[in-house]
Structure 1
Amino acid sequence: MKSSQQRRHADAVWIKASRCNNGNCVEVANLGQGVIGLRDTKVAGGPVLEFPRDAWNAFVQEVKDGAHDPRIT
């Protein structure tokens, strides 16, 4: 029997990252209740990292701003 978390992951609509290449991809999904899921595309039934929506949105904004780009000094 699947846990409620496993059902939530299985029922989610997963979106592959737009910068996916060579099969090294991640997928993201809205898991409901203010939770965003992140998983490895190659292991669809594997572990899922879960983040509060506010934390995920802050991370995405930081990426857009270049805060995590090692090329930016």
Structure 2
Amino acid sequence: MPNLCLFTFTFCLPKDVEIDESDEETPSIILDFDSNRNVVGIEILQASKRIDNPQTIEYMIAQAAMAS
């Protein structure tokens, strides 16, 4: 069995929300969706080869454009 480095990020979900479907949107990037097609989790296969430092997580929350 190959050595697989997997990074999984699951959003904070209410207890009644379950993963309904998972799709490999791009090679080695899997998105988990609830029944309303909201993204509730992200999996990155072979993370140590795709991320500079898999021990550290940096994230940015983009602000949506506000309508005037």
Provide the TM-score with structure 2 as the length reference: 0.29
The structure in which a higher percent of residues are strand is 2
Larger Rg: 2
Provide the TM-score with structure 1 as the length reference: 0.28
